[in-house]
Amino acid sequence: MLFSGNLIKLNSQYLVPVKYILKSSNQSLIINDLIGQRVKISFNGTINCIHCARKMRKSYGQGYCFSCFQTVPQASPSIVRPELDQSHLGISRDMEWAKKNSLVDHYVYLAISSSLKVGITRYTQIPTRWIDQGASKAIRIAKVPYRQISGLLEVELKKNFADKTNWRKMLSNNIDNGINLLDERDKAHKLLKKANFSDYLIDDQVTEITYPILNYPEKVSSVNLDKTPEIEARLEGVKGQYLIFEGGQVLNIRKHNGYYVDISVVK
Ligand SMILES: [Zn+2]
């Protein structure tokens, strides 16, 4: 057995191509080493909360039990909607956590994952956030001193830019190649100036990201471990937080945070 434990968002290293590692408290599996091999993943029916480890039937917010989902700062509504963050006013589920994670520099960025999108992230999460989303190119366009402001800029830009990734297109490498990120950055800067956010604008180089993939599938179908507890197929690669198998089956690891699995190579 190569790994026996709870799934958790893949750790990544920004190399060419990206190196992906599945880590638990006492195991570390380099996923890149499995590419090209027949891999078996079996879910044994147990799901543990990624915060308190309690056994549960169903997870909320990508890996939490209902109680943690309602109380831990990592699952607060401002994670998805940063403009709602109130930690700069001293209001948070956990002010100590907020001081380290919300009341710190954040970046607003543009990225190409399937097509162009806008997003925000904490300064420590560059380029991790882009890798998690499967972006092929990205550029930072603004730097702000805390989370809520990044949300305000994003809300402004969402009037003209998308903020979602089409994961089917991203995984089949159906990418809009006609986009010039520097031109788009200039457009975004103009919009932000008009909205009185001039103070936060920054210049940056475009970052390019290459993923470890042998073959892209033409069509993808998402595997749900609740319905299909066992996968056995040749691993073709990894992009974003998805394992891509031959035939176009894809497994979103992050969506299965806390699921207890055994992973092995079938000879
Ligand atoms: Zn919990």
Model confidence pLDDT, tens digit, residues 122-167: 999 999 999 999 999 999 999 999 999 999 999 999 999 999 999 9
Helix (H, G, I), strand (E, B) or coil at 125: helix
- Alpha carbon of 51 to ligand 1 centroid (Å): 5
How far, in Å, is the centroid of ligand 1 from the Cα of 73?
Answer: 12
Distance 69 CA to ligand 1 centre (A): 7
Domain that holds residue 121: 76-208
Q: What total number of domains does the chain contain?
A: 2
Q: pLDDT for 92-112, tens place per residue?
A: 999 999 999 999 999 999 999
d(CA 102, CA 92): 9
**Residues 186, 153 share a domain:** yes
Tell me the C-alpha distance between 67 and 61, whole Å. 11
The answer as to whether 61 is a domain residue is no
Query: Which of 168, 184, 208 represents a domain boundary (last residue)?
Result: 208
Strands (E), the chain: 3-6, 11-13, 19-23, 28-30, 38-48, 55-56, 106-112, 116-122, 137-144, 207-208, 221-222, 230-239, 242-245, 249-252, 259-265
Same domain, 35 and 113: no
Task: Report pTM.
Answer: 0.96
User: Ligand 1 centroid to 76 CA: how many Å?
Assistant: 14
Tell me what pLDDT residue 250 has: 98
Q: 253 with 7: CB under 8 angstroms?
A: yes
For residue 33, report the distance from its CA to the centre of ligand 1, in Å.
Answer: 32
| Token pair 């010039």 in the structure block, residue | 180
- Residue in the structure block whose two tokens are 């179908």: 221
